Amino acid sequence: MGLRQESIHPVMTKSEKQFSTAIVGGGLAGLSLAIGLVQRGIPVQIYEGATEWTDAGAGLVFAKNSMVAMEKISPDIYKAFAKRSSGQGWESKKTTYMDYRDGSTDGGLITSVICANTGQESVHRTLFAKDLVALLPSGTFHMGKRLVAIDNRPDGGYTLLWADGQSTDADVVLGSDGIKSKCRQLLLGEDSPEAVPKFAKEFAYRGMVPMERAIEVLGEEFARNSMVNIGSNCLTTTYPVEKGTLLNLVACRSIDTWEHDEWVVPSSQEAVRKDFAGCGPVMQKVISMMDKPAMWALFDHPECSTFYKGRFALIGDAAHASTPHQGAGCGQAFEDALVMCSLLEDERVVSAAHVEDALEAYDAVRRPRTLRIVNTSRENGEICMMRGEDTGDDLGKIKATLDQRFHWIWHEDLDQQVQQAKSKMREVSEARPIK
């Protein structure tokens, strides 16, 4: 694959990896990484802060790059995904990622964005996560382990301190504990402006309804296929999940500041109607199905000076949480996991002392792409709320932008990305040989 065969380290088999790894956070990023490492013979334990699964869940959408990454991490992950995923309901829309419609009027079509070969697939987050846990060996996944601190050990490893008073030693720590990541705060410094997420100046109402009800309210086409209705300072996104038995609902609204201490606050149908007053009939129908609405503030991580320090690194939302407007955030978690698995599996990484080179390579390859996705997702939200800097409320300009802005995300050559990371690791390793 373009790499020389000689190595400054002896060639080792997978079973001879001489380091222990703790993954903090049991969402899709951490679970996919854990599965990939275990199936490559690399010992790992994964720790989730929640004490139990919640039923609320949320829908997630994926395109080509995400599904390719799943398959390359482990075919078992992709099989679990395919068991639950939903595509477009109509055969004529199988290659469509999203229909973008004019929600300020009657929902007329602006453009159908095409992602050839895959279209769009969606899944119920919580149910998919439970399926991934089942792929791990017994005793690997631990719930109720909320991280409070990490102490550095003299040998370069770490002691993780949990809220339950217990502790865990690990040579390597990989933080996948979501947008409110404690790992991020500890890695970047709790006083660093980069350590905390930034308010994206918008909030969302979310919900799921049975498909039968959605069809009754929206009609077959709008209920069974993925739609974004755009309006002035607002939008709605709907798509089927769980093999088309449920419709996921999202209604976003711009707002300059968030005055609440909590990120999720109860609301009412009256408040939702007020927030979307003046929108077209299709958007009104979408919000009418929000039976128990709550306002979800949207935050992201638009900047980060590093994803690693020593043998400690961030992946997924802990590193690069984004708004939902490109449907690309979770897919980046799978790309992270693929690159990380491939680096730690490499024959050059034998002992804990070699891991830092792998993490430096991971950071060099993954950070620019993922932070670009965070920031272009914010931009796409502005475009779809008719306040984009270059598009405003001009539907022609909005169409021209939407038709081309996703391709660089979807059509990434993941094999090339992995090889780029391995080449970077080799460069780092040869420039700084480990004694």
Residues belonging to the active site:
206
Burial of 11: CB neighbours in 10 Å, binned 0-12, 13-18, 19+: exposed
Asked whether 23 and 181 are in contact (CB, 8 A), the reply is no
* Dist. CA 78–CA 215, nearest whole Å: 29
* Dist. CA 405–CA 396, nearest whole Å: 14
Q: How far apart are the first and last CA of the chain?
A: 27
b (16+ CB within 10 A) / e for 226-245: bbbbbbebbbbbbbbbbebe
Residues 6+ apart with CB under 8 A from 25: 46, 47, 48, 49, 175, 176, 177, 178, 181, 183, 316, 318
Asked whether 402 and 322 are in contact (CB, 8 A), the reply is no
DSSP string, 333-375: HHHHHHHHHHHHHSTT--BGGGHHHHHHHHHHHHHHHHHHHHH
Asked whether 272 and 285 are in contact (CB, 8 A), the reply is no
Entry field: residues in the chain: 435
Place of tokens 């159908």: 112
Asked whether 140 and 46 are in contact (CB, 8 A), the reply is yes
Residue 329: strand, helix, or coil: helix
Place of tokens 């299709």: 282
